[in-house]
Amino acid sequence: MGHARHPLSLALAVLAAGLFALLGSGCGSSDETTESGSSSGGGATPSEQPVGATAQDCAAAVAGISRLRVTGVDCPAGQDVVVGWDEKGSCRAPAGASRVSCNVGDYRCLGAAAERGLAISCARPGHSVSFVAKRG
């Protein structure tokens, strides 16, 4: 006479086999990122990716601003936020302050003192612009 298998142990064995098959199939991606920030594989071309899927480095259009990075917007729109931030006196941190906040158009900007200047992050739903401003 043989032993009857418990239905739970059979279900666990099937589940474990499925997990091993999934792990063995390479469910992760080893795609490398190209200079433009788009994935070199995976079947999606840059035009098929949703806006904001990747961050993009941009040239800063204002003196004293570095490391401009945008997500969900293009570089000219990010540069417009930087110009708006620079033109608003209330966006600059007062002497001795470690944090600052202000509005630039539809964006809420928050700044924090960092080693290399004032790290600024401006955001609105689905869009962000970040940069480093030289402390003045």
Which pLDDT does position 4 carry in this prediction? 54
Number of domains in the chain: 1
Residue 38 lies in a domain: no
Which pLDDT does position 136 carry in this prediction? 66
Instruction: Confirm whether pTM is higher than 0.75.
Output: no
Residue 103 lies in a domain: yes
Checking if the pLDDT of 7 tops 60, the result is no
Residue 88: give the domain boundaries.
56-133
Of 56, 46, 102, 98, the closest CA to residue 79 belongs to: 56
pLDDT (tens digit, 9 = 90+) per residue, 100-130? 999 999 999 999 998 889 999 999 999 999 9
Of 77, 121, 83, 115, the closest CA to residue 102 belongs to: 121
Residue 118 lies in a domain: yes
